[in-house]
Structure 1
Amino acid sequence: MDSTVDRTAVFKSLVVPMQVLTPDFVVAAANDSFLKLFGRSQADLLGRDVFAVFPGNPSAPNDPDVQGAVRMRASLERVVATGQRDTMALQRYDIEASGRPGVFEERHWSAINSPVLGPDGEVKLIVHSTEEVTDFLQELRLFGEHDITRARSELEAMRTGIYARARELQELNEELKQAHRQHRQTALMLREVIEGQRRFVFDASHDLRNPIAGLLTELEVAIAEPDSDLPQILRKMLRDAERLNDIVNDLLELARLDAARPAATELVDLTHLVIDELERRTLTVAVATRLDEQVVVHACRIRLARLLDNLLANAVRHTTTAIEITVTADPPDAVLEVIDDGPGIAPADRERIFERLRRLDDARRRDPGGSGLGLPIAREIAHTYGGRLYAADHPTGARFVLRLPLAA
């Protein structure tokens, strides 16, 4: 479509008589057909209240049967209130005969008031379009007043039905457009999921190949060189086997989490959980704790222990001197934080680190054997029990925050 079309010129040249009103019924524009039909100029109309310009039928101002100003105002008010098009019943408004001042000819009109909505949904303008039906009504009179009334009633019913069907079609069209948009969004989401799964399988296969290649290499050396240091070869093979076992366990855990089959829940005191896990582990760095009493959640203790273990393993890899663990109640949440004093996480990377198999350069340097699955598994466990796990701001080092709903 040509974007250089002069819309003002198009409006002025429309055959259907039209005038444009503001929401307070001031004339903002009128096309040439309207001006010619009513014998007015732009100066007569623009900037004036429409009811001051057309106060009522000029040939019978006091006749209630032909007084259309009240109906016109009511129609315009409905458009402003509802933001919907309003079709008026047939109106009589006589026009001064050409070349005969003071002599008015009977005229009958069919009018429609249509809203022009702004971005906020409010009515900004009203388009008043009108069409003369005088000749049609005069032909109906040939059939007598009774037939006129009946024909008029049938005509009104027909027109009402047509506009009702038109509105229904418009609403159905909007529903179809909305359904199409939702379908496209769903298709895009499915495409992203499939692409994510493809990348995940590729990356997981790549990570599995490294320890397998190591095992094959050590076996080939042991076979080809009988005098080689067998205990040293076995130690290397053991490390590769442990690496394989860790990756497989992580993949199985993710598969269980993705299957949406959470383990049975129980009441878990986060403070006791932290104390038990610290006693069970042998850490190579100092750990400071600040643990409140009676911070209890509904979850699977084994999976929460896995979550905490993954956070501790990550902190140990990156810390410089010490790790801090806190457990507090911040209703309606229980809050567990693991903080290290390492290099920290850039704000742009705080969501990336929770992507499966995503490992930042610093993590690869500090632990080349890491799988990149620990933090994603920890977040999936948090989500399973209605919680959140995220990386937050901290002056020095990284700060991981777990929030779970407190048990009632």
Structure 2
Amino acid sequence: MASAGAGRRGCGTGTVVTRSEIDYEAVFRVGQALSILLTTDFVVLAMNDVCLTLSGRDARDMVGRNLFDVFPPNPAAAQDSEQQGARILRTSLEQVLTTRRRDFMPLQRYDIESADRPGVFEERYWSTVNAPVLGPHGEVRYILLSSEEVTDFVRALRCAGGGGEQDSFALHLQTLNDQLRRAHREQCETTAALREAIERQRRLVYDASHDLRNPITGLLTELEVALSEPGIDLQRILRKLLRDAERLNDIVADLLDLARLDSETHEDECLIDLAGFVVEELDRRAPCAAVLTHLDPHVCVRASAIRLARLLGNLLANAERHAHTRIEVVVTADPPDAVLELIDDGPGIPPEDRERVFERGYRREEARARDPRGSGLGLSIAREIAREHGGRLYAVEHHGGACVVLRLPLVTERCS
């Protein structure tokens, strides 16, 4: 740390000091908290006057040595206090290297060896912050350890509490600080999760409102035309109105499904043979592409029949939207999972979109072009239903089309 130039520039009656004129070494040296500058290997590079005063050491005895050699743990102290304090300090320094962020340590006991009496340690308590000093490319070049001694404060608290075992008191303080830090971290994580949920709901409401507006606009337009033009073909108008009403019904059904899933309501579950279930669901549909099936018998799952039908229906609708000529449905057992694969011979899903297609409201440009009426909620609902039943739904690489895989816990007992 070296002093920079000595020039100044005047401004009225005051003096403006530029950054290049600040003697950073002098600022560091006279800081009020104990400060030690370390390498990334925890070797002491420099320390301030407070550190020299509190430790009773000379700078020549410290520079170039490892911090834990300069300030070794007290071997006579209780294993659960002083030794733990050294471990916590090392862990904090390592965390700074890993995260490149400051770490606020819990108040802890860390005794200091007397400079005049080797092997004799003085009881000390510290409140410490370790901060990274970053290089030009964001790498950690040094670590600045700053610590306030709070020994007198701890002793005053101990006296106010009627005494007690020292090491037990120190351990209690460390435990309380750890609990506070964990609570703060959990609160931050909860807050972040809530913000993400709110933002997700905000996007969903926006997208749903946009999707609802289109059929409503169509309904209003057709009604205005029917009222304003005499002799109009009412059958044609009614068919259009019916399609728009069906579109509205589909969107509302999707939103209601999401609301039920988010509130974690569960319907009665039963034992379901996937092969028979797929056959029944296919019989209820009139697919626009040829459907080939490869269904192993006795592949059973425990699920809500209504929910599972919704899941399969959404997967089939998605496959029909993208298939050129053919859809395949495969049911197999792969213990501990029952596996259902739905394959289409459409354009496939690019690797970068294999997760995004399950996001609420997300629709690829190709999907919008093929079916402008889609809401982008079908695959999201299907995944939520899979999760509700302890399973997974995901897209995998497939040559010549798309493949979506459903895995649910396999039930070994025979389906009735």
TM-score by length of 2: 0.65
2:329 match: secondary structure = strand
**1:47–1:79 distance in 2 versus 1, CA, 3 Å:** farther
Match of residue 332, structure 2, among 321, 328, 335: 328
| Distance in 1 separating the partners of 2:115 and 2:164 | 15
Q: Which residue of 1 aligns with 2:288?
A: 284
Secondary structure (helix, strand or coil) at the match of 1:313 reads: helix
Choose which of 202, 206, 210 in structure 2 pairs with 1:206.
210
Q: Which runs of 5+ in 1 are unaligned?
A: 17-26, 49-70, 95-106, 120-154
1:263 corresponding residue in structure 2 = 267
For residues 184 and 47 of structure 1, do their structure 2 counterparts lie closer, same or farther at Cα, with a shift above 3 Å needed? closer
Counterpart CA distance in 2 for 1:33 and 1:206 is: 64
Question: Alpha-carbon deviations, 1:266-292, whole Å to 9, x = none?
Answer: 001111111112222222212222211
Please say if 1:348 is aligned against 2:356. Answer: no
Query: Aligned ranges for residues 349-368 of structure 1 at < 5 Å?
Result: 349-368=353-372
Partner of 1:272: 276
Counterpart-to-counterpart distance in 1, 2:235 and 2:404? 40
Aligned runs of 1:186-201 on 2, under 5 Å?
A: 186-201=190-205
Q: Secondary structure at the match of 1:245?
A: helix
2:41 is matched with which residue? none
**Residue 182 of structure 1, CA deviation:** 2.0
State the Cα distance separating 1:369 from its structure 2 match.
Answer: 1.0
SS in structure 2 at match of 1:215: helix
- Per-residue Cα deviation, 1:337-379 (whole angstroms, up to 9, x for no partner): 1011211112222222112222111111101111211111111
Alignment partners' CA distance in 2, 1:47 and 1:218: 85
Cα drift, residue 45 of structure 1: 10
Partners of 1:335 and 1:404 within 8 A in 2: yes
Paired with 1:181 and 1:239, the residues of 2 have a C-alpha distance of: 51
Q: Is the 8 A contact 1:72 1:88 kept in 2?
A: yes
Contact 1:267 1:296 in 2 (8 A): yes
Matched AA of 1:218:
E
The answer on 1:240 being equivalent to 2:280 is: no
Q: Percent identity?
A: 53
State the Cα distance separating 1:198 from its structure 2 match.
Answer: 2.1
Match of 2:184 in 1: 180
Moved more, 335-344 or 390-399: 390-399
Task: Give the AA of the match of 1:322.
Answer: R
TM superposition shift of 1:90 = 9.9
Whole-angstrom distance in 1 between the partners of 2:343 and 2:197: 32
Equivalents in 2 of 1:174, 1:370: separation in Å?
50
SS of match in other structure, 1:221:
helix
Write the distance in 1 (CA, Å) between the matches of 2:74 and 2:285: 83
One-letter amino acid of the counterpart of residue 300, structure 2: V
Structure-1 residue corresponding to 2:376: 372
Q: Does the 8 Å contact 1:90/1:111 carry over to 2? A: no
Correspondence for 2:298: 294
Cα distance in structure 2, aligned partners of 1:200 and 1:247: 12
Q: Which has the larger radius of gyration?
A: 1
Q: State the distance in 2 between where 1:33 and 1:235 align.
A: 86
SS at match of 1:368: coil
Task: For 2:64 and 2:248, locate their aligned partners in 1 and report how far apart those are by CA, in whole Å.
Answer: 82
- Number of residue pairs matched by the alignment: 342
Q: Identify which range, 170-179 or 182-191, moves more after superposition.
A: 170-179
CA distance in 2, matches of 1:212, 1:33: 74
Q: Tell me how far apart the structure 2 counterparts of residues 184 and 46 of structure 1 sit (CA, whole Å).
A: 39
Instruction: Provide the aligned C-alpha RMSD in A.
Output: 5.0
* Alpha-carbon separation, structure 1, partners of 2:176 and 2:274: 54
- Please tell me whether residue 252 in structure 1 is matched to residue 256 in structure 2: yes
Unaligned runs of 5+ in 2: 1-18, 35-43, 66-72, 87-107, 132-158
1:366–1:46 distance in 2 versus 1, CA, 3 Å: closer
The CA deviation at 1:89 is: 11
Give the Cα–Cα distance (whole angstroms) in 1 for the partners of residues 77 and 246 of structure 2.
Answer: 80
- Residues 1:394 and 2:412 are matched in the alignment: no
Corresponding letter in the other structure for 1:346? P
| Structure 2 counterpart of 1:221 | 225
| Counterpart for residue 308 of structure 1 | 312
Alpha-carbon contact 1:75-1:86 (below 8 Å) kept: no
Q: Is the 8 A contact 1:357 1:371 kept in 2?
A: yes
Aligned pairs for 1:68-217 within 5 A: 83=86, 85=109, 87=111, 93=117, 110=122, 165=169, 168-217=172-221
Q: Any idea what SS the aligned residue of 1:226 has?
A: coil
Within 1, Cα distance between the matches of 2:294 and 2:193? Answer: 42
Q: Structure 2: how far apart are the matches of 1:275 and 1:252? A: 27
Separation of aligned partners in 2, 1:82 and 1:34: 18
Q: Is the 8 A contact 2:348 2:400 kept in 1?
A: yes
> Which residue does 2:409 correspond to in 1?
405
